[in-house]
Amino acid sequence: MVTGKTKNLAVIGFPVEHSLSPAMQNAAITAAGVDYSYIAVPIAPQDLPAAVAGFKAMRFAGFNVTIPHKQTIMPLLDDIDEAAKIIGAVNTVVNDGGKLKGYNTDALGFIGAFAQKNKSPHGKNAAILGAGGAARAIVHALTKAGANRVTIGARNANKAEALANVFAARADVQAFSWDAAEFSSALREADIIVNATPLGMAPNTDEAPPVDWERIDNAALVYDIIYTPAKTKFLAGAEKCGHETINGEYMLAAQGAAAFKLWTGKEADLSVMQKALRASLSSR
């Protein structure tokens, strides 16, 4: 029950009506028996500075941040966690006694799925398709987890190279056009292959990034971070050739669980969050 003592949480974005976070976070709140409440708040880009000041003034315990505010919120915060600085985007804000600190939990969400499958990226070769915001969190996660080599392939080789350069000092990160022979070799040598583009996301379910599954070792784990549909054309192609696969549902729930822990100090019940997520998706 919401009372005068209930601590407030939110997700901000524009638009934000379709966010799955209120269902996921309120399910986790109920399961943990903590006195919090979570709402969705649409905030237009020009209103972001006033909104951030407002959340502070209203003593919200924290909030999630989604498109289009993940980068533009950074200069408005009092402090930013190291991982969020490297990733260059904030998706979670914690109000620590009146100081707003930004975090990015996408990397934790992405990497958590490996443990769930009793696997680890440590010492493995990974190939990532796409060079946007999610790819940046994924390259951070994989290099931090001790991947041997990460190769980024994108339609725009310059963007892939710019992303690789962010991490080149700390790990073996290479970048190519995804049409290049070097990227085809990286795909063949990969233990982990990740789609970090929106290709295949509903309603464009007949799209997929270019991978010739017949030429890839079927021991490679194939991960698509898209969660609508649950099985993209990319994952269907991989499964047909015998690959083990992971979709984006786990990453979505686990990034939310990491945010929940930052706000409440408690572990979220991930299975409850996944169930709420699936129920919201199937009612659409």
Are the beta carbons of 245 and 200 closer than 8 angstroms?
no
Does position 15 interact with ligand NAP (CB under 6 A)? The reply is no
End-to-end CA distance of the chain: 27
Instruction: Please tell me whether residue 278 binds ligand NAP under the rule CB under 6 A.
Output: no
For position 132 contacting ligand NAP by CB under 6 A, the verdict is yes
- x-marked contacts with ligand NAP along 220-259 as a string, rule CB under 6 A: -----xxx--------------------x--xx--x----
Q: Is 70 annotated in the active site?
A: yes
Question: Is the peptide bond between 198 and the residue preceding it cis, with omega within 30 degrees of 0?
Answer: no
Pairing mode, if any, of strands 62-65 and 92-96? Answer: antiparallel
Q: Which of 48, 199, 222, 246 binds ligand NAP (CB under 6 A)?
A: 199
Q: Give bridge partners of residue 63 from the DSSP assignment.
A: 10, 93
Amino acid letter, 231: K
Considering the rule CB under 6 A, would residue 196 count as an interface residue with ligand NAP? yes
User: What is the nearest approach in angstroms of ligand NAP to the Cβ of residue 195?
Assistant: 8
Task: Report the distance separating Cα 194 and Cα 221, nearest Å.
Answer: 9
Question: Could you say which of 48, 154, 257, 272 contacts ligand NAP (CB under 6 A)?
Answer: 154
Closer of 93 and 226 to ligand NAP (Cβ): 226
Place of tokens 């992405």: 110
Question: Min. distance of Cβ 127 from ligand NAP in angstroms?
Answer: 14
Residue 198 DSSP label:
-
Q: Is 134 in the site for ligand NAP (CB under 6 A)?
A: yes
**Catalytic-labelled residue, pool 7, 70, 85, 124:** 70
For 150-164, b where at least 16 C-beta lie within 10 A, e where not — what string?
bbbbbbebebbbebb
Active site residues: 70
Residues that bind ligand NAP (CB under 6 A): 106, 109, 130-135, 154-156, 159, 196-199, 201, 225-227, 248, 251-252, 255
